[in-house]
Amino acid sequence: MIAGVLASLWMLWVLMLAIPFPFIANTAGWLTAELGRQPWLAYGLFRTSEGVSPLVSSGSVLFTLIGFAGMYLIMGLLYIVLMVREVGHGPEGGGDVLESPESLTA
């Protein structure tokens, strides 16, 4: 019964389109936790305004923010490219990846 559902075409579409959901859930969870806690850094103990590093310039912060955005943009694009390639290979094409040294990574 379950095998039948998993093999049906509409379920395969749902599974494939569900790939972004864990990322959305993860990010939304972080945003909820971090934004929901404002204006506290440690709830009820320590305000965000008290936790600012006085000697880190806003220029440095902007620079690193752009840097991180760039890094994650590139990582996201790489992820999509590799994911699309993998999907394109179909179920039999996974052999390459399994033999790569990274699969031994702990």
| C-alpha angle 42-39-58 in degrees, rounded to nearest 5 | 100
Quote the least distance from Cβ 1 to other proteins, whole Å. 36
- Say how far apart CA 41 and CA 51 lie, in whole Å: 7
Residue 104 binds to other proteins (criterion: CB under 8 A): yes
The number of CA neighbours under 13 Å toward the Cβ of 56 is 8
> Quick check: 67 binds other proteins (CB under 8 A)?
yes
Q: How far apart are CA 52 and CA 98, in angstroms?
A: 46
Site string for other proteins, 73-92 (x = CB under 8 A): --x--x---x--x-------
Note the residues at the interface with other proteins (CB under 8 A): 53-56, 60, 63-64, 67, 71, 75, 78, 82, 85, 96-97, 100-102, 104-106
